[in-house]
Amino acid sequence: MPHPPRDPAAGEPVTAVSGEPDGPDHYLVGLDLRGRRVVAVGGGSVVTRRLGALAAAGAQIEVIAIDPTPTVESFPGITLQRRAYRDGDLSGAWYALACTDDPEVNAAVVAEADRRRIFCVRADIARAGSAVTPASIRHDGLTVGVLADGDHRRSARVRNEISSALLDGDLSAVPTAPHAPGVALVGGGPGDPDLITVRGRRLLAQADVVVADRLAPAQLLAELGPTVTIIDAAKVPYGRAMAQEAINDALIEHARAGRFVVRLKGGDPYVYGRGFEELAACVAAGVPVTVVPGISSAIAAPASAGIPVTHRGITHEVIIVSGHLAPDHPDSLVDWSALGRMRGTVVLMMAVERLELFTDALIAAGRDPRTPVAIIENGSMPGQRRTDTVLAQAGRAAGDAGVRPPAIVVIGAVAGFDARTGSVGSSPA
């Protein structure tokens, strides 16, 4: 029977074009590769795709390739031999991959593997190997693999549908046992519920108690079950706020009562989120705590408005600054003179109320009054709005536009970028 052609990038054989049966089904099995030698012959795109999963499985990876890709060459923890394959290279291996662009070499690798009783994937003609790689995903301690009788497009499509259903919660994968008591500090991202991390969403689905910030994605709270207790820990700018000590106490109290508590924050827990204060309080109380990083609005809001905070040849630095205190406040820790002398990007957070004070301080310290400024309200959310101005007029422009928190202020040449036209602007930095 002729072997089916192979799409090297997909990890699965293409359906045979003849009307003959494909042969026996493959036996799907999980391999424990921890500390065991795995040899990949070839250093192209297929090996590039496989290295991450093999490394995550704890394999002792050896790559033999004449001309490996930069990713393969720089992959941490592997042994790389820059040479052609030689018979005997599979000695001591538990698993092998024949992934060169030379069918004769791949056939020789498979032949050696067969002699040594080593299961071997052949990338160009999958049925000619003794193993095939399923389209797979890993989710919450589950590994799901899909084989579709050689139809790699079908297996990949089904795998993607399963992955999407697991992430969205349409397909339940919540462990039967409850999560152990403790606290998880979860960064919810800039506001769009799709921008929370996979791990953050998984832990949120396991929570008994959720202590939520005002800027935490509200739609995520709507997905919680009816038995989940939600505690409002909002800190409204210049308004009502739950004291930090009360938040710490709530985390500790519920965890000690045997509950799993998720402290859901906007952005990242450690970027003006007082995350470390909460971690320290939990550690001092003997409560187990996990930190799940989130996408900070300091980076995400500009990005969602078409602004990169760094750009090759234009800015090599970005500084994120709290606008919680005025420049002349005795408790301010910001060196505004230094900020005024720098040429890179300044991102101001919580700065709307005092924006004119900050811009005046930067100009007084030497920053060009014509420096572009972009103010992004509700970054990543349906109500996102961008106001463009220059440093000398930023305070007035924000007032005229009625800018309200949450808003991110970007100062620097990148604030003049226009993603619609690809323009990098012309104003001074």
Eight-state DSSP code of residue 86: -
| pLDDT over threshold 50, residue 1 | no
Q: Which of 381, 329, 387, 391 is nearest to 355 (CA)?
A: 391
The catalytic residue among 22, 140, 235, 368 is 235
8 A C-beta contact, residue 288 and residue 183: yes
pLDDT tops 50 at residue 18? no
- What is the predicted pLDDT for the residue at 423? 80
124 classed as catalytic: no
- Report the range out of 10-24, 137-151, 287-301 with the highest average pLDDT: 287-301
How many angstroms separate the CA atoms of 38 and 55, rounded?
Answer: 10
Note if 235 is an active site residue: yes
pLDDT of residue 7: 41
Instruction: Kindly state the tokens that stand for 30.
Output: 């999980």
What confidence score (pLDDT) does residue 235 get? 62
The model's pLDDT over 108-162, given as tens digits with 9 standing for 90+, comes to 999 999 999 999 999 999 889 999 888 888 777 778 888 887 677 888 888 888 8
Average pLDDT of the chain to the nearest whole number: 89
Q: With 80 as the cut, is the pLDDT of residue 20 above it?
A: no
Does residue 12 have a pLDDT over 60? no
Contacts of 172 (CB under 8 A, 6+ apart): none
Exposure pattern of 95-122 as b/e (b: 16+ CB <10 Å)? bbbbbbeeeebbbbbbebbeeeebbbbb
pTM (2 d.p.): 0.77
Q: Which of 151, 213, 268, 360 is catalytic?
A: 213
Contacts of 4-7 with CB under 8 Å at 24 or more apart are: 4/125, 4/126, 4/127, 4/150, 5/125, 6/123, 6/124, 6/125, 6/126, 7/152
d(CA 10, CA 155): 10
